Amino acid sequence: MKNTSSKSYLWWVAWVIFIVLATDFYEWGAQPHLWLGHPLWLWRLVALVLVIGFVYAWLARTTWEDDEA
């Protein structure tokens, strides 16, 4: 098994960035805006979930190394 601890910081950086982006600091307490009948925060959350999925898939593909027996 190869040591991948040098690449694990990418996972932590991505995790911290996504936690900060998922917290609604920028419109805290503001009147909600609607787009296609849904609040704008819902659309941002959907976009964030898609971005998280793509980034984690990319990280898994580039940082995990296969165990060669």
Distances in whole angstroms, Cα of residue 69 to Cα of each of 2, 24, 60, 66: 12, 47, 20, 9
Note the pLDDT tens digit of each residue in 25-47: 777 777 878 889 888 888 888 99
Instruction: Round to whole Å and give the CA distance between 1 and 68.
Output: 8
Select the more confidently predicted residue: 9 or 51.
51
Place of tokens 């932590």: 12
pLDDT at res. 35? 86
pTM over 0.95: no
Of 8, 1, 10, 9, nearest in space to 65 by CA: 1
